[in-house]
Structure 1
Amino acid sequence: MILPRKYLPINWTGSMKFSEAHFIENEQSIYDAIRDTISISINTYNYGVLPPFLGQNRSIDIQINQRSGSDQFVQIVLNGLNAVTSGGLRISINPKYDSEAVMYTHSFAAEAFSGTNDEQIFDVVLRVIPEERVPVGDPDPEEVPPRVPYVGPKYVLNVLPANQGNSDGATHLTVGRIIRHGDQFLIDENYIPPCTAVISHPILLQYYRNFGDALSTLQADSLKIIAKIQLRHQHPGLSGTINMLCRELLSYIADIQFEYQNMVRHQPPIVMIGCFSTLASRLLVVVNCFSTVEREELLNYFYQWIDVTPGNFGRVLAQCAGIIYQHQNSYESIDSIAKFLDMLGVVWKRLSTLEYIGQRKDNIVITEQSEMRQSSSGIRQKWKTID
């Protein structure tokens, strides 16, 4: 979000009288110039929580607790945060320099409960006020007179109803989410704040690894399925459509493998989400290119073995392919991808374990009954021979 400069450099002249205000204004102009430079490269999907510092495993440390003995009060403690707002303002809450965490106690007593199904969602929003200088750090005992050595911007926490107002403006950042169930208040463990990279948040990083494992499994299962088709020289009909899907899947994985392994985790979450939304789009296009008879046969075959209804299969693909990314709430997009990969993984795993592609469940029943009759006949024959 590009904003106009608010502070300009001081016009220093040799004969002017200096004052404290001049130095503060000059400092503000420097900070504003830095903010302006940062904001030029920021767009709607690359601001938020930054990657952890070297040697640390997380960039945000927030606690949300309901105060004991008071049903309508929630205490929020932000112990640490390394982030940048959409307007280019750096947020650096570091216990090393900040003797106290940013704290806020919110009362819900005056707010009317308007949730459905006994639930209401609130965003925890952090506001940065760079003009207000807050002393930070430990005083030097040898300095006379004693003073706090450094200053930082003022940070203010607030709680707002979700999706109301500009909670992620140039000076704001959503850092958490509270779910209200009647008189109980819980932190939304699935909420992922806006992040500049996948490695910025532990939940994003875990999904990145899980999705990568899912791709590897799908790749291996696709190769097994194609090998079964080629072994029996099956190409027309059902085996042909499944073969096309597997080859499309393998081709796409090969296209993104290097980028996913080496680059995606250092990029904004939208890049990771785009990888799998595109995969769903390509598979959906292939399925829709089949004739009506081929498509119905394919989806009914999946339903026969995996209990995935034709409507559900197409709906999950379409939802993942049509994702509208929201940087303030990336979990919804990630959840759609997780459902898509889970469904695809179950289908492909089952196909890879079949004796051949096109095998029907009723064939297995007939074969088992035939083997049982042959086994019983063989046993009787052996007893007759011994007699």
Structure 2
Amino acid sequence: MLPKRYRPVNWIDGMKVSKEHFIATNHYLSHTIREVRAVDLTPYSFGLCAVGSQDDALLADIQAAPDRGLHVAVGRCRAVTSDGSFIDINEENALQNDLSLPQLLSEYRLEGDQKFGIVLSVNLFDMHPVGEPDMEEIPPRHPFVDATYHISAVPLTTVQPKQWTGPHLMIAQCALENGEVRILSDFIPASSSINSHAGLREWHHKFGEAMGGMETCSYRIIQKIKNKSQKNTLSESVQSLAERLVDTISRSSLEYRWQLPNDPPIRMLTTVLNIAKAIQTELECLTSREKEELLNYLAEWAEETPGQMQSNLNALVKMSYVHVDSLPLLRAIESFFELWATLFNKLSQLEFIGKRKGQQVFIVESPVHDPPSPEKPGSRWSPI
């Protein structure tokens, strides 16, 4: 269903003017601003907006209440919804609401354990008066108007995250498990930039540290192979993999540190997933024998099975990005770095690439004798 279209008022001389005309003009301006803002939005750029200070764009307190209820209080929220509606909540218009999860289950005819999304909605065309009245103005009135905000909860089984549109923003999630309410504190709402949310800034720092560690270890592995002058299929495969990772990470490292904090989260996730894609590409470029040899060697030091390593890598590359709930993908990337960053750190500390786990390296010392000096040639007889 398309949103209602508001048109400008046709002002003419001598017309009878009422407050409805000014309200209609205000609605037209709000509608136009919303439409212009929506033109620049993508399915991956709406959400929380970074404020000028160090404060987060969202400040919400969500607590479990008696009888499987929720108490939601929003003290700050600065965001743009997917349709371009602007949410601006601060200490002057903070709002709160009490929600009953059993009542929601009854309304949606659901049973058992469920997950719920806490949704903040805005109606730019339902204004209500706000502000402290001027005591010298007769009759007294509130000097300003503000948009109407509403807090609600919706079962996640009834919504399609990829089709999340309209003047709504999911700001939190909770779960009803075994009759108890649990707040999912690590949930990250849709955000227009990484700097908009503290959780995204932490993920950005964590992934940056992991990328830097893998790059350093790759340098060491390459230098180790070259210094040892190793010439075998396994060492060549490891060197090629390390060189591809160095190339992939070095191309994006500066952009990752300088530009990505001000970009949508999908830019960060694309950058780090390119590392997994580089590993997958390198494996596919090997022959079947080289690939099997390399995977067996990597799995030995990673304490995983070769098949599991490859299947996890392929599954990660195929995962979809969901802007309104990016946490599953963030956790999958975290598991990827935990495995591969640790693996490359181990390889960089080996005496030589190709050493097997548990293999002892023996160094046999033997005295080195100076080579015998060449005998001086006998002097030729000379009558002189």
TM over 0.5: yes
- For residues 281-316 of structure 1, give each alpha carbon's deviation from its aligned partner in whole angstroms, at most 9, with x where no partner exists: 121011122122222221221232230221221122
1:298-343, Cα deviation, whole Å (9 max, x unpaired): 1221232230221221122212211211111111111111111111
- Tell me the SS of whatever aligns to 1:240: helix
Q: Are 2:235 and 1:236 equivalent residues in the alignment? A: no
Task: Name 2:373's counterpart in structure 1.
Answer: none
Distance 1:367 1:142, change over 3 A: farther
SS in structure 2 of the partner of residue 131 of structure 1: strand
- Deviation of the 1:160 alpha carbon: 0.8
Equivalents in 2 of 1:186, 1:45: separation in Å?
Answer: 28
* Contact 1:72-1:109 at 8 Å conserved across structures: no
Is structure 2 residue 205 aligned with structure 1 residue 209? Answer: yes
What TM-score, normalized to structure 2? 0.88
Cα deviation digits, residues 100-147 of structure 1 (max 9, x gap): 4232433414625857xx642011112211221122333344444332
| 1:324 alignment counterpart | 320
Is the Cα–Cα contact under 8 Å of residues 78 and 102 in structure 1 kept in the other structure?
Answer: yes
Task: Give the Cα–Cα distance (whole angstroms) in 1 for the partners of residues 215 and 159 of structure 2.
Answer: 44
Query: 1:164 corresponds to which letter in structure 2?
Result: T
Deviating more after overlay: 75-84 vs 161-170: 161-170
Deviations 1:43-84 (A, max 9, x none): 211111111x222320111122122xx323222112210001
Tell me the amino acid that sits aligned with residue 61 of structure 1.
L
Q: Match of 2:13, SS?
A: coil
In the other structure, the counterpart of 2:329 is 333
Distance 1:190 1:208 in 2: 15
Letter in 2 for 1:209: H
Q: Is the 8 A contact 1:3 1:36 kept in 2?
A: no
* Aligned match of 1:46: 45
Contact 1:75–1:106 (Cα < 8 Å) also in 2: no
Q: CA deviation at 1:248?
A: 0.2
Give secondary structure in 1 for the equivalent of 2:226. Answer: helix
Q: Is the 8 A contact 1:135 1:152 kept in 2?
A: yes
Letter in 2 for 1:157: I
Pick the structure with greater CA Rg: 2
Q: Match for residue 165 of structure 1?
A: 159
Partner of 1:6: 5
Provide the secondary structure at the position in 2 that maps to 1:146. Answer: coil
**Residues 352, 110 of structure 1: alpha-carbon distance in 2 compared, 3 angstrom cutoff:** closer
**8 Å contact from structure 1 (residues 5, 32) kept in 2:** no
Question: In the alignment, what sits opposite 1:153?
Answer: 147
Residues 20 and 265 of structure 1, relative CA distance in 2, 3 Å threshold: same
Tell me if structure 1 keeps the 8 A contact 2:195–2:201. yes
1:121 is matched with 115
- SS of 1:124's partner is strand
Residue 371 of structure 2 corresponds to: none
C-alpha change, 1:223 and 1:107, in structure 2 (3 Å) is closer
- The percentage of aligned residue pairs carrying the same residue is 28
1:64 paired with 2:62, answer yes
Contact 1:121 1:177 in 2 (8 A): yes
1:15 is matched with which residue? 14
User: What 5-or-longer segments of structure 2 have no aligned partner?
Assistant: 367-384
In structure 2, give the amino acid aligned to 1:153: A
Query: Does the residue aligned with 1:328 lie in a helix, a strand or coil?
Result: coil
Q: 1:264 aligns with which of 252, 260, 266?
A: 260
Pair 1:281 & 2:280 matched: no
Does the Cα contact within 8 Å between 1:126 and 1:156 map onto a contact in 2?
yes
- SS of structure 2 residue aligned to 1:129: strand
Aligned pairs, number: 362
Counterpart CA distance in 1 for 2:225 and 2:152 is 60
Which of these residues, 274, 291, 296, is aligned with residue 292 of structure 2? Answer: 296
Mapped contact 2:99–2:153 kept (Cα < 8 A): no
Instruction: Indicate the larger mover: 273-282 or 131-140.
Output: 131-140
Amino acid at match of 2:52: L
Write the letter of the residue equivalent to 2:59: D
Q: CA deviation at 1:4?
A: 6.3
- Tell me if 1:78 matches 2:74: yes
Partners of 2:54 and 2:139 in 1: CA distance: 36
**Other-structure match for 1:135:** 129
For residues 346-366 of structure 1, the C-alpha deviation after alignment (integer angstroms, 9 at most, x for no partner) is 1100001111111123431x7
Equivalent-residue separation in structure 1 for 2:113 and 2:362 (angstroms): 54
RMSD of aligned residue pairs (Cα, Å): 2.3
Residue identity in the other structure for 1:10: V
The verdict on how the C-alpha distance between 1:107 and 1:164 changes in structure 2, with shifts beyond 3 A counting, is closer
Whether the 8 Å contact between 1:62 and 1:79 is mirrored in structure 2 is: yes
Q: Distance in 2 between matches of 1:23 and 1:226?
A: 71
Query: Is the 8 Å Cα contact of residues 81 and 94 (structure 1) preserved in structure 2?
Result: yes
Return the alpha-carbon distance in structure 1 between the equivalents of residues 321 and 124 of structure 2. 30
Counterpart for residue 309 of structure 1: 305
- Name the amino acid aligned to 2:180: Q
Q: In structure 2, which of residues 67, 90, 94 is the aligned counterpart of residue 94 of structure 1?
A: 90
Partner of 1:220: 216
Residue 244 of structure 2 corresponds to 248
Change (3 A) 1:163 1:136: farther
Tell me the TM-score normalized by structure 1.
Answer: 0.88
What SS class does the counterpart of residue 293 from structure 2 fall into?
helix
- The answer to whether the Cα contact below 8 Å between 2:299 and 2:309 also exists between their aligned partners in 1 is no
CA distance in 1, matches of 2:332, 2:286: 25
8 Å CA contact retained: 1:319, 1:336: no
Contact map agreement 2:174 2:184 (CA 8 A) in 1 = yes
Determine the C-alpha separation between the residues in 2 that align with 1:79 and 1:132: 21
Question: CA separation in 2, counterparts of 1:121 and 1:92?
Answer: 27
